[in-house]
């Protein structure tokens, strides 16, 4: 299996993604004509790099599904200066990329903000969603890190650029990397390294602007403002897996347990000792779990028409 970074232009803006192909590539002898596709969506201030440990785990063990790790606009190497950074817009961007690539139905895996985007994608385009995997996902409750709440305060769009231009954001990222290197950190070092990578991305003005706009679209001073819990009943018939670290300092693990109760026939997996990036803490376990989940659950076949009666009966 090889991982390759590619780009496509959508509506005049560059969208970058990493493609990890199965050993049997479509179009080659013995390769599937229409392989299953798994889309891995990163979190706020993140990039496709957060999935690198998972892709490497698949490289070691093998994978018979096409893996795509897109970078949301304003993140990673994807363009996105100004514009709409709402969950709906991000979901539209995923739909557009998949349409350009010719993929009609996919399993969507979303981490943190990416979990909210994945849920929004499933709600907006049910006919395109085969399975849903939420990893330390936003959009399942109010609780969220105080740091992200501060970024939603008025004036953050002025304060954060000053911190970036004076080198304080970069200094903070280096401090996180230094802390991660301490022998006493143990398992927590993985989360610190990922947090450092995310913080370092904000030293670029385009990433910083997208970060502030995205935070304000989903978070307020009182916590998360956007919730999908009232629509989780719509996952009936959609195989759904929730994965969380029991030591998540960003989004409480209680959100996972409540979601597990609300999702019809959903599956909940708690990674003991893991933080906000369970897929990085235990990439081999995560890759094996994702494979087992996809193997055990046939792709859903849901269309917009089938949702109407359920929405109507819910409101009765």
Residue among 128, 117, 18, 64 at smallest CA distance from 292: 64
CA distance 15 to 8: 5
> Across the strands, what pairs with 110?
41, 134
CA distance 268 to 259: 9
Locate 258 and state its tokens.
């409540």
11 belongs to the catalytic site: no
Which of 209, 248, 255, 279 is catalytic? The answer is 248
CA distance 87 to 149: 17
276 belongs to the catalytic site: yes
Residue among 206, 113, 192 at smallest CA distance from 160: 206
16 belongs to the catalytic site: no
Which of 16, 112, 136, 201 is catalytic? The answer is 112
Which of 137, 276, 279, 281 is catalytic? The answer is 276
**CA separation, residue 262 to residues 149, 255, 268 (Å):** 26, 11, 11
Q: What angle separates helix 168-180 from helix 188-201, to the nearest 10 degrees?
A: 160
Distance of CA 69 to the CA centre of its chain: 9
**Residues 27, 11, 113, 151: is their CA dihedral positive or negative?**
positive
**Residues 137, 139, 145, 151: is their CA dihedral positive or negative?**
positive
**Could you list the active site residues?**
112, 248, 276
């Amino acid at each position: 299996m090889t991982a390759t970074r590619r780009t496509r232009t959508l509506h005049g803006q560059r969208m970058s993604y990493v493609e990890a192909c199965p050993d049997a590539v479509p179009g080659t002898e013995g390769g599937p004509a229409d392989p299953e596709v798994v889309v891995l969506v990163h979190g706020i201030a993140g990039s496709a790099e957060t999935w690198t440990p998972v892709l490497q785990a698949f490289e070691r063990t093998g994978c018979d599904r096409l893996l795509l790790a897109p970078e949301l606009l304003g993140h990673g190497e994807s363009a996105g200066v100004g514009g709409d950074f709402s969950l709906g817009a991000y979901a539209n961007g995923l739909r557009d990329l998949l349409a350009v690539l010719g993929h009609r139905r996919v399993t969507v895996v979303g981490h943190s903000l990416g979990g909210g985007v994945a849920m929004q994608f499933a709600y907006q385009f049910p006919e395109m969603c085969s399975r849903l995997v939420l990893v330390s996902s936003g959009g399942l409750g109010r609780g969220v890190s105080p740091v992200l709440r501060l970024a939603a305060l008025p004036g953050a769009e002025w304060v954060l650029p000053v911190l970036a231009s004076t080198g304080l954001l970069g200094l903070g990222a280096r401090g996180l990397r230094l802390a991660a290197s301490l022998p006493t950190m143990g398992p927590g070092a993985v989360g610190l390294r990922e947090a450092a990578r995310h913080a370092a991305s904000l030293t670029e003005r385009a990433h910083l602007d997208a970060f502030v706009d995205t935070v304000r679209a989903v978070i307020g001073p009182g916590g998360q403002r956007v919730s999908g819990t009232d629509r989780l009943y719509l996952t009936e018939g959609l195989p759904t897996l929730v994965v969380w670290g029991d030591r998540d300092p960003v989004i409480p693990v209680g959100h996972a347990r409540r979601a597990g109760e609300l999702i019809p026939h959903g599956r909940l997996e708690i990674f003991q000792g893991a933080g906000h990036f369970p897929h990085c803490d235990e990439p081999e376990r995560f890759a094996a779990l994702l494979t087992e989940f996809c193997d055990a659950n046939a792709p859903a076949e849901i269309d917009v028409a089938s949702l109407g009666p359920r929405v109507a009966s819910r409101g009765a």
